[in-house]
Amino acid sequence: MADIIDGKAIAADVTAKVKIVADSLLEKTGIQTGLAVVIVGEDPASQVYVANKGRTAKACGFHSVEHKLPEDTSEQALVDIVESLNNDPAIHGILVQLPLPKHIDAGRIIQTIAPEKDVDGFHFINVGKLGTGEIDTAFVPCTPAGSMLLIERVLGKDLSGKTAVVVGRSNIVGKPMFNLLLAANATVTIAHSRTRDLEALCKTADILIAAVGRPQMIKGDWVKPGAVLIDVGINRIDAPEKGEGKTRLVGDADFDSCQAVASAITPVPGGVGPMTIAMLMANAVTSAYRSAGEEAPSF
Ligand SMILES: Nc1nc(=O)c2c([nH]1)NC[C@@H]1CN(c3ccc(C(=O)N[C@@H](CCC(=O)O)C(=O)O)cc3)C=[N+]21
């Protein structure tokens, strides 16, 4: 039976450290880390995440601002808000919650965020730095960064000799995950919907990252005995066993069958999700340190 990797507890460790270093920057330089989260529209899941971010930012002692904009906000109005945050010296990190409404070009908005405040790590400058190994001055996307920290807790920092398979090729998770695993010396393959014999490929992985967005797709008999399984998926499915109309969260891996085979596995909820928020806080305080010309701590 695999050990369950307690993402909630590890995320709490990270945010406790963020608070300590944020307090120490404030004491030394008078700079309070500022994080701005911008949300457009009313998607209920997005509202939950944004509320979590605001709460955690306050717990870290940050200056936390939230811009809640109506669904019919124009692209230009959003560009103007991002530019005003770029120019606001009290703000060190800017996150524009995705997805954006269809009438807004999300790519244009992301590239409008100043790279040095892009705590999501989605700007071309940060993507390029990660892709060329300049990780120390980049912002790394929060979900992959948090997943790496969980892997580090189990396997250490050096993944030499390990085979990793990332299932999913998104810009937000799959591709940055590939780069981080590669930088840690793993031998990495990205699989996706057009991969032939996905099951056999997954079975080669010492480290398996499930980031496809399909509930419970990865089954125990796809997993190499002793593998470390990081489940990035967060899917809400019907749970009639809990009562009529009830739902529950599941990952992209079928937890019970995978737990029987892996050596360590992240649960959903309580795995990668809380780490995403913790790494956002880490990126924000890192940005504040850089703005002060101070050496940023590592997490
Ligand atoms: N620009 C941008 N950056 C993001 O990082 C971003 C985004 N947009 N849009 C939405 C997704 C989703 N996301 C989550 C963060 C935390 C949890 C999380 O804390 N989940 C908990 C509980 C989830 C629940 O109860 O609903 C868990 O897995 O244990 C989930 C999902 C960040 N995202």
Give the per-residue pLDDT at 125.
98
Which domain, by its residues, includes 99?
28-120
CA 63, CA 242: separation in Å to the nearest integer? 40
User: Are 151 and 255 contained in the same domain?
Assistant: yes
Q: Is residue 164 part of a domain?
A: yes
Cα(61) to centroid(ligand 1), Å:
21
Same domain, 148 and 270: yes
Is any ligand 1 atom within 6 A of the Cβ of residue 95?
A: yes
Does a structural domain hold residue 135? no
pLDDT tens by residue, 54-113: 999 999 999 999 999 999 999 999 999 999 999 999 999 999 999 999 999 999 999 999
Three-state DSSP state, 216: coil
pLDDT at position 44 is 83
Domain co-membership, 204 together with 257: yes
> What spacing in Å lies between the alpha carbon of 147 and ligand 1's midpoint?
13
Reported ipTM: the value is 0.97
pLDDT digits (tens, 9 = 90+) for 106-132: 999 999 999 999 999 999 999 999 999
The pLDDT score that the predictor gives to residue 118 is 98
> Which CATH number fits the domain that encloses residue 227?
3.40.50.720
Q: Is the pLDDT of residue 245 over 90?
A: yes
29 within 8 A of 68, measured Cβ to Cβ: no
Report the nearest-CA residue for atom 25 of ligand 1: 269
pTM: 0.97
Amino acid at 257: S
51 in contact with ligand 1, CB cutoff 6 A = no
**pLDDT for the residue 47:** 85
In a domain, 63, yes or no: yes
CATH of the domain at 105: 3.40.50.10860
Structural domain contains residue 101: yes
Residue 126 lies in a domain: no
Query: Looking at the chain, which runs of residues are DSSP E strands?
Result: 3-4, 34-40, 63-69, 93-96, 163-167, 187-191, 207-210, 228-231, 235-238, 247-250, 264-265
Range 206-219 average pLDDT:
98
Residue 48: what pLDDT? 85
* Residue 283: count of CB within 10 angstroms of its CB: 29
- Output b/e per residue, 89-124; b: 16+ Cβ within 10 A: eebbbbbbbeebbeebebeebbebbbbbbbbbbbbe
The pair phi, psi for residue 210, each rounded to 5°, is -100, 110
CA–CA separation, 34 and 125 (whole Å): 21
**pLDDT tier, 49 (very low <50, low <70, confident <90, very high otherwise):** confident
**263 lies in the same domain as 210:** yes
Report pLDDT digits (tens) over 15-46. Answer: 999 999 999 999 999 999 999 999 999 888 88
Count of domains in the chain? 2
